[in-house]
Amino acid sequence: MEYEFYIDVFFLVGFYLNLLSLFLTSACLHQKCSVARLGLAAAIGSFWNSILIVFPFLPSGAELLITLTVIGSVMLMIAFRGIISDGISRLVRAEGCLFLSAGLVNGCYSFSCQQFCLTDLEGLVFTGFIGALLEQLIRRYISVRGKIGEDRYQVSLYYKDREKRFLALADSGNRLCVPGSGKPVSLISYKDCIGFCEEVSGGFYIPYHAVGTERGTLFAMQFERMEIKKDGRTKSIDCPVVAIVKERLSVNGDFSMILPEAYVPEE
């Protein structure tokens, strides 16, 4: 039995499915992106798959490994500008989202064609509809989740030519500010200062009062700069004031810094 293989059709189908996968990934990461960059990334992935189908020069395990790591990383760095600057953990998370999205999209396409007896074109249209619906549901869920205080921000704090990175929570209830100037104040734990800024030449105390607690003071200091990153946007704060608390800010460790709402990058 002989089959006719059309490489151009294979490339276009792969390009379409890669594009859907990247759209779902952008929704999972809550990452803004341009259609042109997504299209270029999808084309690179489809081109790689076309090479493998015509010239199967690698073992199947090596093909999968290179596709998931090298090609996946290249696609993500092209599709989402600045994602590598957010740290390796962010890139690994994005690769996981892309892998799951690709599995979902390709599975939906294969299932619709086999179980519903759809043509290839009808299967692509059906998969596109399901993908668009999932993309909107994911973005709506993440948007609602962010409104109840679960959004996280990558923060870089600079002090005496040293940098420390934090995963920060933007807390609308954080009204702590410098007396007189009214400058917003962030919070970090003393444990995170070890090896970074535990020895300081100057600082000052800020009065505070929280619900259910007595009044007190927090030691604060002025850093050189703070960079707040979220969804490809970066906000730089010169001479930020940060108060240091003795206890951990998060019980489960899902954030290590609290930002005032005024420092959150605008959408």
Cα gap 235→226, rounded to integer Å: 8
Query: What is the reported pTM?
Result: 0.58
Rounded-to-integer distance, Cα 71 and Cα 90, Å: 16
- What's the CA gap between 125 and 118, in Å, rounded? 10
Token pair recorded at residue 262: 């005024």
The predicted pLDDT at position 55 comes to: 87
pLDDT digits (tens, 9 = 90+) for 196-229: 876 666 788 888 876 545 578 888 988 999 999 8
User: Who's near 156: CB < 8 A, 6+ residues apart?
Assistant: 163, 164, 165, 166, 226, 227, 229
Measured from the Cβ of residue 79, the count of other Cβ atoms closer than 10 Å reads: 28
Per-residue pLDDT of the chain (267 residues; tens, 9 = 90+): 566 778 889 999 999 999 999 999 998 887 777 889 999 999 999 999 999 988 888 888 888 888 888 999 999 999 988 777 666 777 888 899 999 999 999 999 999 999 988 998 999 999 999 999 998 888 777 665 554 455 688 899 998 888 889 888 877 566 788 888 889 999 998 888 887 876 666 788 888 876 545 578 888 988 999 999 877 778 899 999 999 888 878 766 778 888 887 887 665
pLDDT of amino acid 159: 87
Q: Which of 201, 203, 184 is nearest to 244 (CA)?
A: 203
State the pLDDT at residue 211: 52
* pLDDT for the residue numbered 148: 41
pLDDT given for residue 143 in this prediction: 60
Cα–Cα dist 113/226, whole Å: 52
Please give the pLDDT value at position 90. 77
Give the separation between CA 218 and CA 206, rounded to whole angstroms: 5
Q: Specify the pairing of strand 185-189 against strand 241-245.
A: parallel
Give yes or no for a contact between 23 and 38, defined as CB atoms under 8 angstroms apart: yes
Residue 3: the pLDDT is 65
